[in-house]
Structures are given as structure tokens and as C-alpha cells.
Structure 1
Amino acid sequence: MNRHNAMRDEPAEHLRFAACLSELEQVADADEADLVGAVLTDPDQAMAQSAVLRHLDRRATDLHLGPAYERWAESMTQATTRHPLLVRRLQEWTLFRAITLRQSWRPDVLLASSDWLQRKAAAASNADAIEILAERGRTKRIRNTARTSLKHQRSR
């Protein structure tokens, strides 16, 4: 089967998902919130939110350690305000940023966070967060990841 036939056989939502990701990867900073809002108007909300979630993760990975993160996160929170999953992911990125930069954060908030954030924090470099997760992380996988991270930190 050639590429043209494969694309023709691809479900419409897969093609829209790929198109959304491509647009989001190329959007100018000034137009980002508007494009996120436009993507979230797609009738296939699972596809739209998945595309935006992937975009938020990509951008937050690039921005979370720098000063531009706060303004970006605020703008994205406004653009996603009607989508609790996306708002929560942004909140968790903000918590991860605080943990990573050793800013103020609360252990109870980390323990109430998603498995995604707990796994991410368990593999990070903040010993306080890792110790909490090694002891009280939600899943065995999170606790084991945190224990392994602690062993690596102590062996350095």
C-alpha cells in the first residue's frame, strides 16, 4: 500500500489530530492561546484535548525551568479553563516546577496529584519529594522509582 492510500484510509480524527499537532508545534507565541482555544472547539473532544495535552507537555518541558513559564502557564490556563484535565495538567506542571526549582510546595498536594506527576517527581532530583514518594507514593511503581532515585542520589 502506498502512502497516499494509507492516508486515505486513515480515520478523519487521526488526520485532524496530526494536523492539530503540526499547527500547535508551529504556532507563534502570540497566537498560541487562540489556537489552543480553536483546537478545543473540535467536536471530537477526546481528540482535541489529547492534542492540546501533548502540546502543553511539550511546551512545559521546554519552559518550566525558566522565567517565561509563569506567564505561559497563566495564558494556557485561561485558554483551557473549561477543560478540567488540561487545567489540572498545568497545575501539576507548576507543582513540578516548584519541586524542581526547590520553591515552596506542599507534600499533601504532591501526594494528591496524579500518577503522572508522582512518577515524574519520583524520577527527578528533589530528595525531599523523592523521599515522600518512596514512602507514600500512590502505586508500587512510583514508590520503586523513588527508591531507585534515592539510591542513585546517595551513591553519587
Structure 2
Amino acid sequence: MSSGAVSADSDWDPDEHVRFARYRRAFDEVAPADAAALVARVLTDPDKGMASSAVCEFLDRRAAELLTDPGYPSWRLEMTGSVEVDDFSARRLNEWTLLRATTLDEPWDAESLLAASHWLQLHAAEKSSVMAVLEVLVESGRTRRIRNIAKSRLSVAQPPMPA
């Protein structure tokens, strides 16, 4: 943490909006090697919802950057221990990993995709070009919107039938 914005108790502000803004700045400035420690520190904030939101915003940004990068698995391992104290952050990290698998056509299973949140199903429908992923979402996606997006993308992704 280059700014120390969240490391000193003397910097603690009773206003969660001020703390959230500090956390966002700290996440913007954190060196990759220090990110897991910062996540763990932010998740000690007494306002669990705000802390989880700040962490998930960071996870979303960083996971999106690394989604197809070979460095994703090691980054995920670094984050796993830090987020395990917060169910929402841990689930979001797991869902990014499932999204990566469905995007890169790595091993995944339909049950996990169908049990996933609306957020994950929508992202998979919008981003995956793996026909099996789109087929699962067309058949059993959580909402009509997810099913329709998957259907539209599947029709474009399918090769034309030979004459």
C-alpha cells in the first residue's frame, strides 16, 4: 500500500463513504504483491457490506483484466485466502473462475453454471463463445433475458449446416 490509507487506525473515519473512497484509492494504487493483504485489511472494516463492495469492485476490475491471462490462476490463489472471510467476495472470485473456464473452454460443469448468480449467467451469455455454455443457458438460464442473449449468440456462433 503506497498511501497507507487503510493501514493506520488513526486514519479510521466513522463515515463509511469516506472509508469506501479511501479503499478505492488504495486499490487503485496497490502493488500486485500487496493486493491480498489490502483485501484482507479492508474486509476487517466494521461495515461488512461496504467492505465487501469495495473488495468486489477491486476483484471485478482485476479479474476482468486477467480473465484470459495465464497469470489468472496464481492471482486467484493469492486472493482466495484473503476473501474466505467474506461469503460474497469468495463467491464472486469463484464465479470469475467459472467465467474464465466457460470463456476459455476449460473444464466446467452445467450444474455449477446453472447454480451461479444472475451476474455470472448474464456475463457468460454475453461473453462466452463456447457453444456448450450457450446451449446450457438457452435451455436453462435463470431469466428470459439470459436465455435470449444466449440464443442470439448461439445462432451466430453455430456453423451453417452443409447443403
CA distance in 2, matches of 1:111, 1:69: 23
* Greater helix share, structure number: 1
- Please say if residues 65 and 101 of structure 1, whose CA atoms lie closer than 8 Å, have aligned partners that are also in contact: yes
CA distance in 2, matches of 1:149, 1:15: 42
Of 149, 155, 162, 1:151 maps to 155
2:72 maps to: 69
The sequence identity of aligned pairs, in percent, is 47
Quote the offset at 1:155 in angstroms: 8.3
Number of residue pairs aligned between Structure 1 and Structure 2: 146
CA distance in 2, matches of 1:145, 1:155: 18
Quote the offset at 1:151 in angstroms: 2.9
* Structure 2: tracts of 5 or more residues without a match: 1-13
Q: TM-score, normalised by structure 2?
A: 0.84
RMSD (CA atoms): 1.6
CA distance in 1, matches of 2:156, 2:56: 31
Of 127, 140, 143, 2:131 maps to 127
Structure 1's consecutive aligned runs of 4 or more residues displaced over 3 angstroms after TM superposition are none
CA distance in 2, matches of 1:151, 1:19: 45
CA distance in 2, matches of 1:152, 1:146: 10
